[in-house]
Amino acid sequence: MTPAAANVQPTAFPRGKRKKQSGSSSTTKDDQQRQPSKKRATTSSTTKSTVASTTTSVKENDFLFGNNELDPALQKKSRSSSHRHHIDDDDDGEDYATKNSVTSQLPLGGGAVLPPTSTSNGKRIPPKIELLTFSKFAKGTKVLGVIREVCEEYALVSLPTMLTGFVRRDAVEGGTGGGNGLPLTKVLPPVNTIMAFYVMNTTTEQVSKRAQKKATPAAAVVKKRRIELSPLPVHVNRGVRMDEYLSSSSTVDGSSRGSSAGSVPMVVRGRITSVEDHGCIVDLGGILGGGARQQRQAFLKFENVEGDYEIDDDEDDSSDDEESEDEKENDKQYKMDTSTSSSDSSLTRKLNIHRIYDFAILPSNTLSSSNDSSSMPTILQLALPSPTTLAKLRTLPKMMPSLSSLQPGMLTEVQVEAHARNGMCVSFKRGVYRGSIDEDHLGGHRNVDTGTKSKKLEKDGSDPSMWWKSVFKGKHAKFTARIVAVDTTTKIVRFSLNPHILALNGEYAAFPHPIGAIIKNAQVIRVDPGIGALLALPSIESTSTPAKDNEVKEQIAKMDQELSNNLLSNSDYKAASNVHTAYVHISKSMDNDDNSKSTKKGKQGKKGTQRTPEALFARHFSINTRIPSLRILSTSNLLDNIASCATAKSIVDAHVLTHADLKPGTIYKDVPVLQLLESGGVLVDLGVGTKGIVPAIHLFDKASHGSVDSGGGDGVISGYRQKIRSAKYKIGNLVSVRCLTVEPATRQCVLTAKKTLLANNVEDSILDYPSIQPGHVAAGFVSKVEDTGLIVTFYNNVYGRVSSRSLAAELGVEDVKTNYSVGDVVLARVVGCERRRNRHVSPNNDNGEEYYYQLRLSLKTVLEEKKAEDEDEAVPSSTAVAEEGDAKDSSVVPLAAGSLLMPKRMKVLQLVKCLHRDDGVFLPGYAVVSIKSKFLTGSSGSAVECKLPYEQLLDSYGDDLSNPPIELDQIAQTKLRVGKRIDVEGLILTVPVGVDMLPIVSLRPSLIDTIKKNVPSSSSDDFSIICPSPKSNLFMGEYVRGYVARIDKRFGAFVRFFDGLTGLIPKLKKGLDENLYDTILCRVTALDITSSPPKILLKKVSESEVAKKRKKKEGKNKGGADGGRGGGNDRQIQVGHIVGDVKVADINFARAKVFILD
């Protein structure tokens, strides 16, 4: 026997008064050697006081309760009673208690275990383990939990017995609820992490459901049970005594503490308080002790962090620590052992202030031989192991911590003492402590019966539901398990053998069936009267990820061997470990008969108003009963790895379970109508209380005028359709709907009952932008009508725009608001879907709004008619040519400035009104016109859209225009009409190059006439009038025609020509006297061709002046020809003339380009 075991005396759990001892109260020398330290006796003062009330003198050396001087008769009675229970419980006659070195003072199975009893005929009833229900979670209970969800303000944790706890941010910040700390996403480990929590408080709140406000008050109140948890080390480490562990850091064989052999690190909760140059300072919750003279701290070196890590540090403090050579050797040995076992290379830990982890105290931190806490090192060295390494750390058998030092998550060896009706009672630490394992944590469940009964169970007449009796005996009566719950007040210590808990990996608890899955032929394996039943699910042949499933099984088998449990070598246990279970609550077990009788239309059943009788539940859910079908409701019970299910037919046959199950674009048939809303909509039930709303505009395909009452607000149906709505959507009627949008967070769902939407695009709905392909035709509804076009919405808030110009060009729609209304169903064709950058959002925005999609639609869904239309108009008929008065070759012109457009070549698509902004800037209106590509050379596509400004409609507007000229809109309304062709000639004024702008056309008759008259010829005319462009060879004195584009009081009037060429009439030349937008004739007075475009000064001239000068020049030339003077020398030089040895290639007023002839 080891020295540590010699210090513990066999004792019995005190029940009632203790007899006074007779004889001398003095103790022998051997008794004094068996007394523990006073420090340990003071830790259990609470329990000690309950026993000391009937004693003459209280001893301080009792290990567990502060008293080891019990009556020998009582000790004998306790030992014999315990021995008898074990023999009676195990039919094979093996006494497990004889293997323990002591008899525990705790009752069989620890706290919350009903002792074994016997019936009147002498039949023994095994003990029963009370489940860790909500009432068992009192303040101070420490429990193991799986982090299920982590948000900035709260976190959800899965607890035993299918319970859920939560962690509040304000309770974690600063440890005191300061409210200025980091969000929980920067404090807690990631999801699926298994760690210990401290129960802060449990409350029961009464919450009123909004859906039951009109019901009776008793039905409207719902009780919500809440368990608040804390992960802080000040709570989780409460009661832990460091001296008990550090004094036990010597080797098992009694060798020196400096040796690394046999040393095991201790796991403790810590929170990083500071990040230094070489490591982190960690707060352990005050368990290090130390007064004002000696402040002890814990330090984590970066080299002791296993795996990858990231540092998020805002401080620049640093500290250097010294350690002895023995300490370095121990720590190095620990790192070598853990580095080879880590399989978490993909996990990157965050090291920042307030981050919480489970750290390991290195074996080098040992106490002196005196075991005095004052000899504890000032700086405690820590390590941060990986989850895989953390799961392998166990407490050595020599360690004998007090009950308050037991922590959830400890891995220790246990010994079976008795088989309970729903689990096993075990002892650990050489029989000093007792605990229990309920059947949900044995690592398996009874399999679905195949019709053959086990030979062993048939032979000994055992209960087949207690399958563990045939497994946990003999060599399997001793194994390694992990503590999941500790309550020092009620002496509850619970263990678990579930693989994901032993591995501390929540991912191992993945359930093979998804939420909503319907499973048939399950079997009842446990019944909790008045609560529910546990069902064993049939085994499935394959999973969605067989490779991953096989990998997990291999890891579990490897872990079973490493722990030396070897339970999977037992065929019964291996079969039980492959069984998956689901729990059905009595409220979801069956439908009430009164609810199913309401089959007439117009009547709505009162679902869930009556509780299922317990007798009825017991009759339908007895042991081994087969359940025809069930539906998985939840798989969030990660700690127990038991799914929640329902067997009621209304739930099994429901379309959806929650709003998260709703999918946009999905059709749900035969859903009952719950309520007719005052706004005109309809409320329907999609299943299990999941409700959706059908707005008034989605009850009928066409939201025609007169169907909506204009005085009652949008969507208020009136007239004939109100009667149809009352009859078709009567409460209780079954209707078919289709989901448009759903928001699971707010539990809002919008549906449609439009027949066209229910019948079209059932398999190829438009649900997201990236999957949209050009040319796809889908049905949608008009959600907005504007002057610029329509907004057509599909499913999942995907919408596109149909421009009014495309409606006019393709369908001849003149007024969008007249032809369409909000709610109309339309068939739209996808023209294009482009992903663009949002210029109003910074590139570093994390909200995902940096880019957006622009979906362009067209309501012209049939494109086959284009070919026939092109054949009819490819070659103009003789009638058309006669009407237009042009030759065949003049019908096609290049897409360039100066090209003439024949009448009826331009079709008005859209009229855009003038805009007068608040800053005083006036933007004239314009019309968007379309010209078919077959009339233009050098164009692509079916048509070319151009811009016709309102100032290009007339040659002169006279004095009718004000400042600003808002009258342009009225003039355009009289001359242009959407969807109609313009029956006058036109002119291409500007063709932008290199920019995404529309070509500009003009209807000015003077400019069109100038282009017609300016036909190149061999004869020269100094008085010819042109419309110049930046490519023209201008010269001083040349006559040009343009229009006044702008008048600036500082300079004069700016005259615009082709392709943006602009000249200036200075105000000294009466430029301010011109009328805006008038077409005028000018003469070039000054020219600077060194810049591009050239700078031009103009002077306005009249047509009569030009005619007089032309006539005078013609007379002079005629007289010169008659006199014979000058002969051919007066002939002006033209391009192509040969003058001497050169040929003229180009000529302007400044120079001439010539080629030298050979």
Q: Residue by residue, what is the 3-state secondary structure of 748-768?
A: EEEEECCHHHHHCCCCCCCCC
Residues of the chain with pLDDT > 90, as a percent, come to 38
Q: Stretch 315-327: mean pLDDT, rounded?
A: 44
The helix or strand, by DSSP H or E, that contains position 1087, with its residue range, turns out to be: strand 1079-1088
Q: Stretch 1055-1074: mean pLDDT, rounded?
A: 92
d(CA 729, CA 751): 14
Q: Stretch 830-858: mean pLDDT, rounded?
A: 78
Q: When comparing pLDDT for 167 and 457, which is higher?
A: 167
Strands (E), 97-242: 113-114, 117-118, 124-125, 128-129, 142-150, 154-159, 163-168, 194-208, 221-230
Please report the pLDDT score of residue 691 as a whole number. 92
Q: Tell me the CA distances in angstroms from 191 to 151, 157, 506, 866, one per residue in order.
A: 10, 9, 8, 58
pLDDT band at 1109 (very low <50, low <70, confident <90, very high): confident
Please report the pLDDT score of residue 610 as a whole number. 63
Cβ 572 vs Cβ 701: under 8 Å: no
Cβ 957 vs Cβ 935: under 8 Å: no
- Model pLDDT for residues 901-948, shown as the tens digit of each residue: 999 999 988 888 898 888 888 889 999 999 988 899 888 778 888 999
Q: Stretch 283-301: mean pLDDT, rounded?
A: 74
- Model pLDDT for residues 94-124, shown as the tens digit of each residue: 344 444 456 677 888 888 899 999 888 888 8
pLDDT band at 47 (very low <50, low <70, confident <90, very high): very low
Cβ 379 vs Cβ 297: under 8 Å: yes
Assess whether pLDDT exceeds 80 at residue 141.
yes
pLDDT band at 313 (very low <50, low <70, confident <90, very high): low
First-residue to last-residue Cα distance in the chain? 127
| Candidate ranges 351-365, 661-675, 885-899; pick with highest mean pLDDT | 661-675
Please report the pLDDT score of residue 1154 as a whole number. 80
Cβ 792 vs Cβ 783: under 8 Å: yes
Classified as helix, coil or strand, 253 is coil
Least confident interval from 169-178, 219-228, 503-512, 577-586:
169-178
Ranges of H-type helices in 822-978: 865-873, 878-884, 968-975
Please report the pLDDT score of residue 466 as a whole number. 86
pLDDT band at 1088 (very low <50, low <70, confident <90, very high): confident
- Model pLDDT for residues 513-541, shown as the tens digit of each residue: 888 899 999 999 999 998 999 999 998 76
Phi, psi of 886, deg, nearest 5: -125, 160
How many CA atoms lie within 13 Å of 355's alpha carbon, on the beta-carbon side? 21
The position carrying tokens 């399950």 is 522
Please report the pLDDT score of residue 716 as a whole number. 52
Q: Which two tokens stand for residue 340?
A: 């080879």
The structure's pTM equals 0.66
Q: Stretch 406-430: mean pLDDT, rounded?
A: 92
Please report the pLDDT score of residue 462 as a whole number. 55
Q: In the predicted model, what is the mean pLDDT of the chain?
A: 77
d(CA 296, CA 1129): 117
Please report the pLDDT score of residue 57 as a whole number. 36
Q: When comparing pLDDT for 127 and 214, which is higher?
A: 127
Between strands 643-646 and 581-585, the pairing is parallel
Q: Stretch 152-176: mean pLDDT, rounded?
A: 85
* DSSP states of 294-328: ---EEEEEEEEE-SEEEEE------------HHHH
Classify residue 330 as left (phi > 0), alpha (psi -120 to 50) or beta: alpha
